[in-house]
Amino acid sequence: MKIFSTALLCSFFYSSLYAGTAHYLNGQIHLKLSKSSSHEELLKTSLGELNLNLDPDQFTLVEVKESLLGKHFTFQQKVQGVELEGSQLVVTTDLKVSVVKSIYDSTTSSSSFKSLTTHPALSSQAAMEKAWNHLNVSGEMMEAPEVKLIVSQDSKLVYKVYLATSNPYGHRNLIVDALNGKILSVESASLPRMKVEGPSEAFQLKSRATLKGLKVIPFSKALRTFQYRNASKVQTLPVVELTSGSAIVFDPNPVVTLRRYDLEDTTPAENFIAAYLKVDLQEITLDEGKYLLKGSKVALVDFEPPAIAPTNSADGSWNFERNQSGFTDVMTYYHIDKSIRYLESMGFVGNKVIFPVAIEVDADGDNGADNSHYIPSNRRLAFGHGCVDDNEDTEVILHELGHAIQHHINPSWRGGDTGAMGEGFGDYWAASHSASTPQGLFEPHVNWVFKWDGHNKCWPGRKLDSVTPAYDPTKTYYAHRTVNGGNSDEMWSTPLFQAFLELFKSGVPKSTIDQIILQAHFGLGAGVKMPQMATAIVNTARELFPDDNYDQVFLKHFQIQKIL
């Protein structure tokens, strides 16, 4: 079993130090690349085009993606062989790799780390132990720890350590100084649908150390326990087959379907009967007579507390009602599976596929909190069950999937305004689905998102028509922040959703609008700001549909928000 990974997929230190610049070349660079050295020549050509005085030997090709409009080559900048976090060159060509279409540059000048030493004074094992001890862990290790030696954007040699623990509960990234072992920062490594109120992370950890009777678990012991527990689970794979099933679900939720804003979590069950919809389940697993919610697109697993195994069925049907675990299980499976298949219907298949393997989901996780989150380090989703169960509302399910979509397209999605844009895109992905359902455009609060899970005594939800807070290019827009008299998430979701409403109401298919927004995410790296993402969307609309005015509709709504 591989316990110590040398690669941490994503981290979320949304620092303004990350900054990228997009250069659109309009086919100015025509390539004549030899098959033996195409990547090296592509890198040298791109560095020369931007007049970057950087040695090509500082870069390593780490990813090649294909999209509807081109190929995207990500070159990671390194310092003496150590990754310089957030510093990349992303080169986009046409599908034939004959023309450079754009270059996204978040590289760092060599002078910034001229005198830097890249020889750590402590080992990766020691860094993990220091991170673990800093958390005062008295619970279990929920996942394999990950550690990576990097050069931070402020030119420090550090270890980035990912830890997932049950007590204190959470998924965290810790930055450890590789020269003196000091803990430089502790941040959540997951993306929740709403801000978690309460004491700061540092205060919580300090307070735990003062609790009487607290038994701190040594890192080595926790690791051995984790290895033993997981090794016992690794058996020969059973012979299974994928088959079909059926279920009863909400789509999107009872508030929209019934157009009733008086519904509450405690409303009697008979009030929800008309909101249930019978649907087919595609590609569920049949294993030794049991039907499981595991397929080629999504798999339900139990990886977070509370320890509740996903439900199974003897006949392939999940006929449950709300407040039953079988209902939230199948809601989660059905809507994620359906949304991923929808992505594929827009052309994101084969080499262009966004989810190459099934995404794992805990339908009853997040330690039972009234919240849900996406965890980029392991590319998993988890849903909480406080108040209205989060996954009774399709809008919550699709919001969290929105985070996964962005990070599967762009694994470097961090820094800049990506915090607010991630939340805003998730809100868009959720609300645009609701608007496209039979009652979606006719219910009175089409500009609300989380219409069943939120906008009640549990939490206020969010809006998609908040045009008051204008974009300020001198600021950085993190997730769930109050800025300029408004909400940072709504600053991004508003122009996306309002452009969607204008186009959709005029007869433009939802898939056409989504295709534009999704395609625009390709070819970018770390440190994306709202104007850059908005420009990419406008340009993509023009390139995909040159004979229509879709680009002008997006442009208008970005201008209203003063993003463009």
User: Looking at the structure, do residues 263 and 367 belong to the same domain, yes or no?
Assistant: yes
Q: Does 491 map to a domain?
A: yes
User: Looking at the structure, do residues 249 and 389 belong to the same domain, yes or no?
Assistant: yes
* Model pLDDT, residue 169: 93
Q: Does 15 map to a domain?
A: no
User: Looking at the structure, do residues 443 and 523 belong to the same domain, yes or no?
Assistant: yes
Question: Could you tell me the CA-to-CA distances from 184 to 86, 164, 306, 540 in Å, in that order?
Answer: 18, 18, 31, 40
Q: Does 118 map to a domain?
A: no
For the chain, what is the domain count? 4
User: Looking at the structure, do residues 496 and 546 belong to the same domain, yes or no?
Assistant: yes
User: Looking at the structure, do residues 550 and 446 belong to the same domain, yes or no?
Assistant: yes
Spatial distance between the Cα atoms of 280 and 268, rounded to a whole number of angstroms:
27
* Model pLDDT, residue 199: 41
User: Looking at the structure, do residues 543 and 487 belong to the same domain, yes or no?
Assistant: yes
pTM: 0.91
Q: Does 166 map to a domain?
A: yes
Spatial distance between the Cα atoms of 538 and 550, rounded to a whole number of angstroms:
8
User: Looking at the structure, do residues 209 and 277 belong to the same domain, yes or no?
Assistant: no
Choose among 38, 26, 40, 47: nearest CA to 96.
38
Residue-number span of the structural domain to which 484 is assigned: 418-560
37: tokens are: 């050295």
- Bridge partners (DSSP) listed for residue 151: 84, 157
| Pairing status of strand 241-249 against strand 317-318 | parallel
Within 10 angstroms of residue 486's Cβ, the number of other Cβ atoms is 17
Q: Does 16 map to a domain?
A: no
pLDDT digit string (tens) for the chain, length 564 residues? 222 222 222 323 333 445 688 888 766 667 666 554 588 889 998 999 899 989 999 999 999 999 999 999 999 999 999 999 999 999 999 998 888 999 999 999 887 777 788 899 999 999 999 999 999 999 999 999 999 999 998 889 999 999 999 999 999 999 999 999 999 999 999 888 776 544 444 445 544 544 445 688 999 999 999 888 887 665 545 556 899 999 999 999 999 999 999 999 999 999 999 999 999 999 999 998 999 999 999 999 999 999 999 999 999 999 999 999 999 999 999 999 999 999 999 999 999 999 999 999 999 999 988 899 999 989 999 999 988 999 999 999 999 999 999 999 999 999 999 999 999 999 999 999 999 999 888 778 999 999 999 999 888 999 999 988 799 999 999 999 988 778 999 999 999 999 999 999 999 999 999 999 999 999 999 999 999 999 999 999 999 999 999 999 999 999 999 999
User: Looking at the structure, do residues 48 and 186 belong to the same domain, yes or no?
Assistant: no
Q: Does 468 map to a domain?
A: yes
H helix intervals, 232-312: 254-258
Spatial distance between the Cα atoms of 11 and 296, rounded to a whole number of angstroms:
27
Q: Cβ distance 254 to 272 under 8 Å?
A: yes
User: Looking at the structure, do residues 346 and 250 belong to the same domain, yes or no?
Assistant: yes
Choose among 419, 276, 462, 292: nearest CA to 361.
292
Q: Cβ distance 2 to 399 under 8 Å?
A: no
162: tokens are: 């990912």
